[in-house]
Structure 1
Amino acid sequence: MSAVAPATRTHLWRTLPALPRLLIVTQCAFNIGFFAVLPFLADHLGGALGLGGWLVGLVLGLRTFSQQGLFVVGGTLTDRYGPRPVVLTGCALRAAGFGWLGFADATWSVIGSVLLVGFAAALFSPAVETEIARQAVRHEETTGVERTRVLGLFSAGGQAGALVGPVLGAALLAGGFRVACLAGTAVFLVILAAHGRLMPDTRAGGVGVGGAATERPSLRGGVRQLLRHRAFLGLCLAYSGYLLAYNQLYLALPAELDRSLGSQAALGWLFALSSVLVVAGQLPLSRWVAARLSPPAALRCGLVLVAGSFAATGVLLPVGGVVPSLAFVVLLTLGQMLVVPAARAWLPDLVEDRRLGFFTGALSSASGAVVLAAGAPVGALLERGGAMPWIVLAVVPVLGLVGVRRVPPPGSPPPSRSAEPAEPAEPGRPA
């Protein structure tokens, strides 16, 4: 313990090598560029372009699918080629997509640009998340600083970007939506240049010790592993329950504000409150959690808080005003601050390093599919009104608790490693 103490007392940022710092700054910049444009997209489509409500919904849904639904593609490419080319390609496509969107005025052009914007994120986000998880584990092994603290800093950086982005976008909209899009393009071109210069090649499966070529993991073998990896499927169940609950910020919360206040005027302030809580509280909370809880235990606690956010809202409905919504946002955000770093920290213990990208992408894609499938039933449930929908939704993260298993004992391989035989090398490639 004495050998670890000096590292844990040092300011976290100062202990980090250059690559994790770059990835944390990247996450902040990604969200600045993204949130400077996307929150204003629906108004632009329905207002300036005059698209019908159904078409606006379709465009937004296609963007979500092309991003969240294709995370597994970006994760697989990361395993095969390393994060650097995937991040660079994603940044270039995102810059091109925002530039295209700024000049798109026909429906086909809007859809094409939005799909490009979403697919770009499906490339760089899994690559960045995979590499920050890998770097957090290595930093923990080297210094004793718990990986959840590094991943908490990563989450806080992303949330800071989500807080700054809409403010920047609102200011840029004075010059029109095209100006905001071009600013987003500029942000991603800067990120592209920075990564082209500073991001090293950290492929897990491309080049081995001494420069020898090593086998790159195949997609088919990864799918086989996934389908019989019970611990990972349990994590998917837990994370899907969290993500479905978290998405109620965009569905249940506006509906509650309309019911209690007659408008959604407070929605922006509540979103800002959520961001401020993460930016200000993520690091202290991660430090406290790292000293006391394993990632699975932190994940369980986070899911309990998420469930509590719905139960508290249902109980507080008779109070009226903004109180139920405020309780929902605060408790849900606290749950998020536990669940997200814990899930990212636990995943490297469950899967082999060379497939970390694939499983990182699969976790997001599977959870996104659950959210997509549950959207209509949840919307219908919320139309019933009263406390009942909130109590029912509180059950969702509780069901996710079923999937959270104990972390494997130190030194024991995860189930996927011991159960899966080595794959043969592809024809023409040395094993």
Structure 2
Amino acid sequence: MLRDLREVGPLLRLLIGSQFAFNVGFFVVLPYLAAHLGGALGLAGWLVGLVLGLRTFSQQGLFVVGGALTDRFGARPVVVVGCVLRVAGFVWLGFAQGTAAVIGSVLLVGFAAALFSPAVETEVARQAVRHEQAVGTPRTRVLALFSVAGQAGTLIGPPLGAVLLLGGFRAACLVGAGVFLLVLAGHLRLMPHRAPGAPTAGDSGRQSLRERLRPLWRNRPFLWLCLAYSAYLLSYNQLYLALPQEVERATGTQTALGWLLAYASLLYIAVQLPLLGWAGARLSHRGTLRWGLLLVAAGFSVSALLMPTTVLGGLLPSVVFVSALTLSQVLIVPTVRAWVPDLVDDRQLGLFTGTLSSLSGLVVLVGSVPIGALLDLAGPWAWGVLALVPLAGALCVPRSEGTPGHGAS
């Protein structure tokens, strides 16, 4: 892994390091937000849910805005503004006491990520393609490094936040803000004003929004890819919806949930590069995505069959599900990120990258309501029904591999 980091060059190292720092700064604060809102601030349960939902919408739902701005102005200014807003949002959140202040700060925190995340994801995909063309290293390997860095940040952030909470929620927020100040300083110093290979705004920068969106809605392979990825993301969201219910059903408590999520991060880091390298040598993007979705379906199905067992204190179905979901994540996420540049015009890579996240986030938002009802009604056997979600996604995988830099129709 260290050799790969040395080979990719300073710009990609900056982008990969930024992803690590983003997740450390994020997970120092956000896992403890609900407890702070309901405990220290005494907000009602429905209001806590509303605040968390608004944060998700202001981030995931507005990725398309950050992507479009990246196409127009380049990655550097969008990342810089996003980091400034995230610092301001965390500081505000740390001192917020009233409901309006909490909502405002959380919206600012979410919108900041809607700026810098698609900007960084767009640029890392573009530079991964350039690196592949220059030295022959598969772009999926570079994108795998990006994903591993994010998982490492996810693993480090929560325990660091737990330690910081000994000094209060405000201390965690201020440290989170400090992390983003470091990222901001790094990008101001090291990020070029125009990254190598990035297209100029040109005529596309002066197009109206309707003109810029027209090729998006006509790009059928990309839209099918969005549907396939949405099925994966809706399935992945069961880590936070179905898995906690299953852990409590099996053990009477959710204590094991944190250990299962830590296991998922460690497994991801351990197998990401070798597993994706094995798949990349044997499968196309289409084949890798399809097998990843089938693996998710198998995870749901096998877990449902194992639920009567008492092995591992009743946690065997949860371990099987987390393992299958993590291995599928290893295959799917870098593959989709590597595939998008081949399906779209490079001048609109940011817009399409942001749209992928926004549309899939909308599917998760809408799909979580009936899935929650299904889990309440059907209990453990709902997991067998949930296997249909990734199976449907596998049917949506586009047939076209695309043409690098030119998109598809």
Q: Which band: TM-score by shorter chain?
A: over 0.9
Q: Deviations over 1:155-208 (max 9, x none)?
A: 00000000000011001000000000000010000100110000012364436x
Match of 2:71 among 53, 75, 79: 79
Aligned 1:244-323 pairs, distance under 5 A: 244-320=234-310, 321-323=314-316
Q: Residue 160 of structure 1 corresponds to which residue in structure 2?
A: 152
- Cα distance in 2 for residues equivalent to 1:123 and 1:154: 18
Give, in whole Å, the separation in 2 of the partners of 1:305 and 1:201: 42
2:219 to 229, 233, 238: 229
- What's the offset of the Cα at 1:392? 1.1
TM-score by length of 1: 0.91
Cα deviation for residue 285 of structure 1 reads 1.5
- Offset at 1:411? 7.3
1:67-91 Cα offsets, whole Å, 9 max, x none, are 0000000000000000000000000
CA distance in 1, matches of 2:176, 2:90: 6
Counterpart amino acid of residue 86 in structure 2: R
- Equivalent position amino acid for 1:220 in 2: R
SS in 2 for 1:167: helix
Cross-structure match for 2:376: 383
Matches of 2:284 and 2:17 in 1, distance apart?
26
Q: Deviations over 1:214-244 (max 9, x none)?
A: 6526332231111111101100110000000
Q: 1:374 and 2:374 equivalent?
A: no
Structure 1 residue 413: deviation in Å? 4.4
Q: CA deviation at 1:291?
A: 1.6
Contact 1:205 1:217 in 2 (8 A): no
Q: 2:9 aligns with which of 17, 26, 33?
A: 17
- Which of residues 73, 83, 92 is equivalent to 2:84? 92
Paired position in structure 1 for 2:399: 406
CA spacing shift, 1:77–1:141, aligned 2, 3 Å? same
| C-alpha distance in structure 2 between counterparts of 1:227 and 1:130, whole Å | 19
The secondary structure found in structure 1 opposite 2:189 is: helix
Q: Which residue of 2 aligns with 1:176?
A: 168
Which residue of 135, 138, 148 corresponds with 2:127?
135
Q: Which amino acid aligns with 2:332?
A: V
| 3-state SS, counterpart of residue 97 of structure 2 | coil
Which stretch of structure 1 is more off in the superposition, 243-252 or 385-394?
A: 385-394
RMSD of Structure 2 on Structure 1 (CA): 1.6
| Equivalent in the alignment of 2:327 | 334
Deviations 1:144-163 (A, max 9, x none): 10000000110000000000
Aligned length, in residue pairs: 403
- How far apart in 1 are the matches of 2:95 and 2:36? 12
1:216 maps to 205
Q: TM-score, normalised to structure 2's length? A: 0.95
> Identity over the aligned pairs, expressed in percent?
62
- Partner SS for 1:202: coil
1:424 matched residue in structure 2? none
Cross-structure match for 1:206: 200
- The aligned residue for residue 37 of structure 1 is 29
Work out the CA distance in 1 between the residues paired with 2:160 and 2:405: 48
Aligned residue for 1:350? 343
CA–CA distance in 1 between the matches of 2:199 and 2:140?
A: 25
- Give, in whole Å, the separation in 2 of the partners of 1:271 and 1:10: 25
Q: Give 1:312 deviation, angstroms.
A: 1.2
Structure index of larger Rg: 1
Q: Is the 8 A contact 1:79 1:354 kept in 2?
A: yes
In the alignment, which residue of structure 2 is the partner of 1:241? 231
The alignment partner of 2:238 has SS state of helix
Comparing 289-298 with 125-134, which one deviates more in the overlay? 289-298
Query: Counterpart of 1:144?
Result: 136
Amino acid in the other structure paired with 1:263: T
Could you tell me whether the CA contact under 8 Å between 1:233 and 1:403 is conserved in 2? no
Amino acid at match of 1:261: T
Deviation at 1:286, TM superposition (A): 2.0
Change (3 A) 1:10 1:84: closer
Q: Is the 8 A contact 1:217 1:354 kept in 2?
A: no
Q: Compute the displacement of 1:375 (Å).
A: 1.5
Which whole-Å CA distance do the structure 1 matches of 2:338 and 2:12 have between them? 14
Distance of 2:74 and 2:302 partners within structure 1 = 44
Shift of 1:293: 1.6
Match of 1:186 in 2: 178
Instruction: Give secondary structure in 1 for the equivalent of 2:377.
Output: coil
Structure 1 CA distance for aligned equivalents of residues 171 and 40 of structure 2: 14
Task: Note the C-alpha offset of 1:279.
Answer: 1.3
| Counterpart position of 1:420 | none
Are the aligned partners of 2:164 and 2:171 in contact in 1 as well (CA < 8 Å)? Answer: yes
From the superposition, tell whether residues 217 and 299 of structure 1 become closer, same or farther in structure 2 (CA, over 3 Å): farther
Per the alignment, do residues 273 and 217 of structure 1 end up closer, same or farther by CA in structure 2, a change over 3 Å counting?
farther
| Secondary structure at 1:129 match in 2 | helix
Name the counterpart of 2:317. Answer: 324
Query: Between Structure 1 and Structure 2, which shows a larger proportion of helix residues?
Result: 2
* CA distance in structure 1 between the partners assigned to 2:325 and 2:173 by the alignment: 31
Q: Distance in 2 between matches of 1:114 and 1:215?
A: 33
Partner of 1:63: 55
The residue type paired with residue 76 of structure 1 is A
